[in-house]
């Protein structure tokens, strides 16, 4: 099974072609990956990355069997680029599109290293906040995702039993959190597919794509115009 994996929940604009066998014991195999880093150019960089990954893998878009996309949490504009692209490609190619939590994909790869205690995954949410979720040493999420300040999150670490951190904001706030920082900083194509592997192999219909914005967008509809008195 050939799967296109996308994620734009972080400054990393990620696209990759991943092969998944029917054997549950076989990990996903990456055929090609394209990752660009620019938090302001998700829309410009994603499709060129998709096409370049497909070209390197020696497959056409029509050869794909499924698409997996990160659903965040992430900033509104960047996150929807990946999800809309995945949905549009799925519709055009008539293949299923599966959404996975982007933090889950980071956790799946991070726990490949030995983890003492639980794992905290956190990425930048802007506005001096972070998106975060907590996982056990098998990458099973037991809290989150949430959005809050790093200081408020640091106060939660003892109750969460955190022994290590991962994600793009982990290194930035390493001094405050006081825990070892593990790779990766962003979801990889293989990890995105690994999160969705069971449902991909089962052939089950995907759930509707639901973006994890966690807070309302900055843009709002304007209110009614105020009446101006003439005298």
CA distances (Å), origin 231, targets 225, 228: 18, 9
3-state helix, strand, coil in the chain (%, to 5): 35, 25, 40
219 pLDDT more than 50 = no
**207 domain residue, yes or no:** no
Domain identity same for 96 and 192? yes
**166 domain residue, yes or no:** yes
pTM across the whole model: 0.92
Domain identity same for 36 and 108? no
Are 103 and 188 contacting, i.e. CB atoms less than 8 angstroms apart?
no
Domain identity same for 93 and 21? yes
CATH code, 167:
3.30.420.40
Domain identity same for 31 and 93? yes
pLDDT digits (tens, 9 = 90+) for 125-139: 999 999 999 999 999
Of 205, 189, 195, nearest in space to 49 by CA: 189
Domain identity same for 77 and 34? yes
**216 domain residue, yes or no:** no
**226 domain residue, yes or no:** no
Which residue range is the domain that position 178 belongs to?
103-182
Domain identity same for 17 and 95? yes
* Cβ neighbours for 215, distance < 8 A, ≥ 6 positions apart: 147
Question: Count of CB atoms within 10 A of residue 58's CB?
Answer: 10
Task: Report how many domains make up the chain.
Answer: 2
What one-character-per-residue DSSP string does 113-165 give?
S--SSEEEEEEEEETTEEEEEEE-TT--EEEEEEEE-HHHHHHHHHHHTEEEE
Domain identity same for 113 and 138? yes
pLDDT digits (tens, 9 = 90+) for 174-213: 999 999 999 999 999 999 999 999 999 999 999 999 999 9
pLDDT digits (tens, 9 = 90+) for 69-119: 999 999 888 999 999 999 999 999 999 999 999 999 999 999 999 889 999
């Amino acid at each position: 099974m050939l799967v296109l994996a996308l994620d734009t929940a972080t400054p990393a604009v990620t696209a990759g072609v991943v092969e998944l066998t029917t054997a549950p014991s076989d990990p996903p195999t990456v055929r090609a990956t394209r990752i660009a880093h620019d938090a302001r150019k998700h829309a410009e960089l994603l499709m060129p990355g998709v096409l370049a990954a497909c070209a390197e893998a020696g497959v056409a878009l029509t050869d794909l069997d499924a698409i997996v996309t990160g659903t965040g949490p992430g900033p509104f504009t960047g996150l929807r680029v990946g999800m809309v692209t995945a949905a549009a490609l799925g519709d055009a190619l008539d293949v299923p599109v599966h959404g996975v939590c982007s933090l889950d994909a980071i956790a799946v790869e991070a726990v490949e290293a030995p983890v003492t205690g639980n794992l905290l995954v956190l990425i930048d949410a802007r506005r001096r906040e972070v998106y975060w979720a907590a996982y056990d040493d098998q990458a099973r999420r037991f809290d989150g995702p949430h959005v809050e300040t790093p200081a408020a999150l640091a106060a939660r670490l003892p109750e969460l039993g955190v022994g290590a951190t991962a994600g793009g904001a982990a290194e930035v706030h390493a001094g405050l959190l006081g825990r070892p920082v593990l790779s990766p900083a962003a979801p990889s194509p293989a990890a995105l597919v690994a999160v969705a592997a069971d449902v991909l192999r089962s052939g089950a219909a995907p759930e509707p794509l639901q973006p994890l914005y966690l807070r309302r967008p900055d843009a709002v509809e304007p209110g009614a115009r105020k009446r101006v008195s003439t005298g």
